[in-house]
A and B are shown apart, each in its own frame.
Chain A
Amino acid sequence: MSKIGVFICHCGENISATVDVVRVAEAAGKLEGVEFSTDYKYMCSDPGQTLIKQMIKEKGLTGVIVAACSPRMHEPTFRKACSSAGLNPYMCEMSNLREHCSWVHDKSEATTQKAIDLVRTLVGKVKYNKPLYSIKVPVTKTALVIGGGIAGIQSSLDIANAGHQVVLVEKDPSIGGHMSQLSETFPTLDCSQCILTPRMVEVAQHPNIKLLTYAELEKLEGFIGNFKATIRKKAKSIDEDLCTGCGTCITKCPTKKIPSEFNTGLGKRTAIYVPFPQAVPNKPVIDKENCLYYKNGKCKICEKVCPTGAIRFDQEDELVELEVGAVVVATGFDVMEPSKFSEYGYGKYKDVITGLQFERLASASGPTLGEIRRPSDGKIPEKIVFVACAGSRDPSKGKPYCSKICCMYTAKHAMLYQHKVHHGESTIFYMDIRSAGKNYEEFVRRAIVEDDVKYIRGRVSKVYEENGKLIVKGVDTLLNAKPVEIQADMVVLATAAVANSGAEELAQKMHISYDAYNFFSEAHPKLKPVETNTAGIFLAGACQAPKDIPETVSQASGAAAKVAILFSQDELSREPVVAVVNRSAPPLYSTCVGCFMCATACPYQAIGEELITNRKGEVIKRVAKVNPGLCQGCGTCVAFCRSKSIDIDGYSNEQMYSEVMALLND
């Protein structure tokens, strides 16, 4: 006979303001199997936990139910408390009276009744809980970092410096990400390449980091501490061991007119190329789509001129399998293609560009060597209009969210322009100035006060060309909504920061969740900002939401710290929620009939077979057997077994049936 203790939490007033907790405790006390019940203001507080421990000892409780917040919040807390009082932690469960009851209903009789129902339901389950013992699994102390922007670089270096192995996978020919494209960076205006390049080199030289560029994740299996990753190394068409990075091939390649991705289409590159001079690794790849040889079988000039004979036209993609214990996802973001805002004329007028393109124009290593020259005719623009929130905060055609970085980089752009073109005029159309970082507001004020950047509060409705000028039709909402028309030489759109195009697919490969905009979801917006809902997979940088470099780097170090914590243990204990096939005395041995429906359903290939032999060694039965190391506890096998021979600890048939019965029979 169970002796269950039920503890009803007020959560300050979060629960007790809508649920009559005293009545819930009373009702719980009357349930069969309940030995003790009470209510308390804050169950998770020290005195709250002490109360539970005390009652376990005093009343000899065999089960504990804490009716409070979501088990996703405090189940570990209370299980630990029980355990310290000598009760098996899996005899403790939580009933969710806060998120699923008091916060979603108004105060009423029905709400209290629902709370009572929820507690009774769980009593039904806990009656059948069995002590379980956590499973120990070994940890592979190698981390996989996906994405080599500043986030991935920082995480890799931190993990490597903690003494663990790192494999860094980058899809492009070089690491560096968006930061390598930037000119100078707010709020300090230091040169982006100057602070980034040393770290890129450090990655390449670190003994604990293995760098795989031009590579992507193909498949991820396994679980925390024991993942198996398959990486596709795309064919670079060169032998990296032989190539010295001399660059002869690049200068001789006849295909020279390919728009350079790195220069956002503002410059050109060859078919065999390194994306930019400071690339890491500084060895070229052949872009098969544009190479003459791959297209029509003629050329091979690079092969002829290469002094080391490093060109390999017959190279094929290679799949590499890695055992890793943790994954850091740092695949970054992208900027929105603004052509659907046809009123802004992007794609139609050459001098309407994006903020990222402006970075290339302002960058000393860019196509104009840092001089701000407009794309159409190379002239230095005398008047530039910047359009903030282009595609952000626009539910109708863009994204409803604020992209967070553009207010700051637009102020930076206007400032850089004013510093370079002293007689120039820059105007920024904005809705709000969002500059809530350390020294950020001061930065924006400087642009306005010292550099005379003109801020006009209002959106732009249309941009069109007339007599070589871009006519920008905007409005000044602070001047009684006065229409404003500016004749500009160049227009820069602060386009929304959006998730990478491949983000959704990648998330599905790894089974992590993502939000409505395809940014990856953190496990908790405040308290678990670098974790995902999948144990062992962490997030860093702009793949989780738009963010600037300081924030990206903090999160990257945070993710690295989480990995280091994980790797500080040799073994992990896992929740013992695993499936088992029943066993009974001979001659039956098990009710399992060996149909292996369960095995076909198991997504983790965790079910194998076991041969039952008699004393003579003759096989008398073939039954299913679960490998608890592989089983993740989804329970699919249980639903598939017609003979009810396989069951899952923690969510057994007995428990679940009893739970349903208790719910429906008050």
Chain B
Amino acid sequence: MKIGFYPGCSLTGSSREYNESLLAVAKVAGIELCEISDWNCCGSTAAHNLNRELSVSLPARNLALAELEEMDELVVPCAACYNRLVMTQHELAEKPEIKALIEGKLKMTLRNDIRILNVLQFLEKHIVPRLDELVKSPLTYDVACYYGCLLVRPNQVMKDERFEDPMTMDLIMQKLGANAIDWPFKTECCGAGFSVSKTEIVGELSGKIVRSAVDRGAKAIVVACPMCHFNLDMRRPVIESYLQRKIDIPVIYITQAIALAMGLSAQQAGTQRHFVPVNLTVNR
């Protein structure tokens, strides 16, 4: 099976292991993810903060390229890119005049009908139904599933009934054998794009999240977004200085968790790339 794939910039750099683990999982499941050739950056927060047109035109180019390659499903693992692409699709559908303008600049036309899947939607559709056969070494620890903002919001667009208390990741983790704890910070914001420019805010927001997970006994935090990972993992020193306490809970991508449960090595899952060491042999 072939499915379109938009990795986004982070997955080629700071969240390389997300990419690696996703591809590894897909491979085991016999799914080929075809990268859009010559894709570009979606513009992220920078574009929609400073320039409305770029915030639509940059993602639109990728959608147009994907259409050229006749993809009808497109997996976008980065939650921020996913949000930008979906909002762009929404905007293009609602505003024909903007669509025309951008098509002109791109010198490409858009059908605007690609089904965009975030990582959870992709897993639910293509991997979860086969987990029973694919899981080889079930996980045995308590985890806190952290969704962040952009996987579930705005609910006006995402239409998830449980947007305040989403369960998709929790259910997947349970299928992997782990115990997903109930905690109230699943969708609180980690500080997102302020990682570099307002690091102290990230320390505070991410700190509260990490603290709640640890205090409720989680042995790992599971994420599905490079930005969340960056803030919860690499920003651990800022977090610790905000909390005034040392915290060594590792942060893993859901795809890494699946890879590990499928029996792939830590190397294949890419956990050696984390700042906070991933040492998950601890049993419940």
Contacts and interface: CB of A to CB of B under 8 A. Distances in A.
**Do A and B touch directly, given a CB cutoff of 8 Å in the complex?**
yes
Interface of A: 340, 342-343, 348, 462, 464-466, 471
Contacts of A342: 162-165
B164 A465 contact: no
B30 interface: no
The secondary-structure label for the interface of chain A is strand
For B165, B184, B212, the residue with the greatest tally of chain A CB atoms inside 10 Å of its CB is B184
Contacts of B162: 342
Given A466-B184, A466-B212, 12 more contacts: A340-B161, A342-B162, A342-B163, A342-B164, A342-B165, A343-B164, A348-B165, A462-B164, A462-B184, A464-B184, A465-B184, A471-B184
Contacts of B164: 342-343, 462
A44 to B, nearest CB: 50
Leading 4 A-B pairs by shortest Cβ distance? A464-B184, A342-B164, A343-B164, A342-B165
The secondary-structure label for the interface of chain B is loop
Contacts of A340: 161
Interface string B157-173: 00001111100000000
Interface in B207-228: 212
Nearest to B162: A342
Interface in B135-167: 161-165
Contacts of A471: 184
Nearest to A342: B164
A54 B103 CA distance: 76
B187 to A, nearest CB: 10
A466 B184 CA distance: 8
A135 to B, nearest CB: 55
Contacts of B212: 466
Contacts of A462: 164, 184
A342 B184 CA distance: 11
Contacts of B163: 342
A411 B163 CA distance: 32
Contacts of A465: 184
Nearest to B165: A342
Contacts of B161: 340
A465 B184 CA distance: 7
A343 B184 CA distance: 10
A74 B212 CA distance: 68
9 contacts: A342-B162, A342-B163, A342-B164, A342-B165, A348-B165, A464-B184, A465-B184, A466-B212, A471-B184
Nearest to B164: A342
B164 to A, nearest CB: 4
A394 B25 CA distance: 44
A662 to B, nearest CB: 46
Contacts of A464: 184
A125 to B, nearest CB: 48
Interface string B15-59: 000000000000000000000000000000000000000000000
B284 to A, nearest CB: 22
Contacts of B165: 342, 348
Interface in B170-205: 184
A474 to B, nearest CB: 15
Nearest to B156: A396
A624 B183 CA distance: 74
Contacts of A466: 184, 212
B180 to A, nearest CB: 15
A462 B212 CA distance: 16
A493 to B, nearest CB: 15
A127 to B, nearest CB: 54
A430 B163 CA distance: 24
For A340, A462, A464, A465, the residue with the greatest tally of chain B CB atoms inside 10 Å of its CB is A464
